[in-house]
């Protein structure tokens, strides 16, 4: 949509008369100047376009029958390049059908030869009034679209805040992963920057990585908070969380498929031995491969009741060891580059966390 014109930026009484006949231009000029218009003249369509290109003129009176570029062609070009310019076509009485077609093509009115000063005054007045209404209508539509866009952004912000609240609720449930989703999202975003991931995909990666463990809401607290290694059955129960999260988020993230892919596929392995779909290599969405590295690093460097977290160097060494089997080698390299180039957030175990007995109030 072209920019909305501010009617105050143009002198109201200005027009351009376009006709290859000098005498007709002179007659129209006298009539228009008598009505208080300041007039410009052009003897051809090309000359008219050059004048309009140099300065904006709100009203054009153009004869239809002109050599090289006729009035219809001139009308189309003016309508395309200067849609706020009111065009009044001039035709002979026998060319009324042509005048009607010009109206359909964007002319705001027409004059038939011979014409009187009263007819010129009426037709010009109607054309300028239509122009004013069109400009006001476009301005109204633009303002309405801006208000709708603003409201949409507010709803999106509330929606994303609600999803983040779900992730925060999970971390209250599992006291020893406090801040995990925020750190994983930060790591994943920095890695994405190293991989030159486009902005839209990066936005979905950030959201998906914040929500990657949301399915743990469906994991029994006794298992989630167990102080010690998990049994085979308990581990299998915990590893149901990608599918649980995917089912929970699918109705909410149907327009953000990459964020949803992170939730479902962040425990897939590059060698095809992961969960839940045993995807292999590049069958795994890139956003999930990125999140897998970020998630594992944070899990390794974060403490648990039964163990202390690894050092950063040891965790990076483990990522390298599992590169090509558990992790995409390209993502591991991107992680290391991001560590070198960026200040990574680190787990801060001095921050006060919820206690084991804390309850979530519905």
pLDDT in tens, 81-93: 998 889 988 887 6
Q: Is residue 93 part of a domain?
A: yes
Q: Is residue 288 part of a domain?
A: yes
Same domain, 141 and 193: no
Same domain, 113 and 14: yes
Same domain, 178 and 140: no
Tell me what pLDDT residue 174 has: 60
Q: Which residues contact 163 (CB under 8 A, 6 or more apart)?
A: 207, 210, 211, 252
Q: Is cis: bond before 77, omega within 30 of 0? A: no
Q: Is residue 346 part of a domain?
A: no
Same domain, 236 and 298: yes
Same domain, 126 and 213: no
Residues linked to residue 39 through DSSP beta bridges, in sequence order = 15
CA torsion sign for 349, 352, 355, 360 is negative
Same domain, 70 and 200: no
Query: What is the domain range of residue 62?
Result: 7-145
Domain count across the chain: 2
Phi and psi of 361, rounded to 5°?
-85, 125
Q: Which residues contact 203 (CB under 8 A, 6 or more apart)?
A: none
CA torsion sign for 181, 187, 189, 191 is negative
In this prediction, residue 79 has a pLDDT band, given cuts at 50, 70 and 90, of confident
Q: Is residue 156 part of a domain?
A: no
Of the candidates 327, 305, 241, 225, which has an alpha carbon nearest to the alpha carbon of residue 276?
A: 241
Euclidean distance between CA atoms 242 and 137, whole angstroms: 50
The pTM assigned to this predicted structure is 0.56
Q: Is residue 354 part of a domain?
A: no
pLDDT in tens, 215-254: 888 888 788 777 778 888 988 898 999 999 999 899 888 8
CATH label of the domain that carries residue 39: 3.40.50.2300
Tell me what pLDDT residue 361 has: 27
Q: Is residue 167 part of a domain?
A: no
Euclidean distance between CA atoms 46 and 39, whole angstroms: 17
Same domain, 134 and 275: no
Contact (Cβ atoms closer than 8 angstroms) between residue 86 and residue 127: yes
- Is the predicted pLDDT of residue 347 greater than 70, yes or no? no
CATH label of the domain that carries residue 217: 1.10.3210.10
pLDDT in tens, 97-139: 777 787 878 888 888 788 777 888 888 888 888 888 888 888 8
Same domain, 191 and 335: yes
Same domain, 13 and 89: yes
Q: Is residue 139 part of a domain?
A: yes
In this prediction, residue 304 has a pLDDT band, given cuts at 50, 70 and 90, of low
Q: How do beta strands 109-113 and 59-63 pair?
A: unpaired
Tell me what pLDDT residue 83 has: 87
- Is the predicted pLDDT of residue 7 greater than 50, yes or no? no
């Amino acid at each position: 949509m072209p920019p909305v014109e501010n009617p105050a930026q143009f002198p109201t009484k200005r027009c351009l008369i376009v006709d290859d006949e000098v005498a007709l231009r002179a007659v129209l000029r006298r009539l228009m100047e008598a009505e208080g218009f300041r007039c410009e003249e052009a003897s051809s369509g090309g000359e008219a376009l050059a004048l309009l290109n140099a300065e904006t003129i709100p009203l054009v009176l153009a004869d239809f029958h002109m050599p090289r570029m006729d009035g219809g062609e001139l009308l189309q070009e003016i309508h395309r390049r200067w849609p706020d310019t009111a065009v009044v076509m001039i035709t002979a009485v026998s060319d009324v059908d042509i005048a009607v077609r010009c109206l359909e093509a964007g002319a705001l009115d027409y004059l038939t030869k011979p014409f009187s000063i009263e007819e010129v005054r009426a037709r010009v007045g109607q054309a300028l009034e239509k122009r004013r209404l069109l400009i006001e209508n476009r301005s109204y539509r633009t303002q309405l679209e801006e208000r709708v866009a603003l409201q949409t952004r507010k709803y999106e912000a509330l929606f994303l805040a609600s999803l983040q609240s779900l992730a925060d609720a999970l971390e209250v449930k599992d006291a020893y992963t406090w801040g995990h989703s925020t750190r994983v999202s930060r790591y994943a975003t920095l890695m994405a920057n190293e991989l030159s991931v486009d902005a839209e995909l990066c936005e979905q990666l950030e959201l998906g990585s914040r929500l990657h463990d949301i399915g743990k809401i469906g994991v029994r607290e006794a298992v989630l908070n167990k102080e010690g290694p998990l049994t085979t059955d308990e581990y299998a129960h915990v590893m149901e969380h990608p599918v649980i999260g995917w089912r929970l988020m699918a109705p909410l993230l149907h327009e953000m498929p990459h964020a949803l892919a992170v939730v479902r596929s962040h425990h897939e392995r590059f060698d095809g031995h992961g969960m839940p779909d045993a995807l292999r290599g590049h069958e795994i969405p890139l956003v999930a491969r990125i999140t897998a590295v970020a998630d594992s690093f944070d899990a390794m460097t974060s403490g648990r009741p039964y163990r202390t977290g690894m050092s950063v160097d040891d965790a990076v060494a483990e990522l390298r060891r599992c590169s090509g089997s558990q992790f995409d080698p390209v993502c591991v390299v991107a992680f290391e580059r991001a560590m070198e180039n960026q200040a990574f957030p680190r787990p801060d175990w001095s921050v006060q966390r919820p206690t084991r007995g804390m309850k979530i109030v519905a």
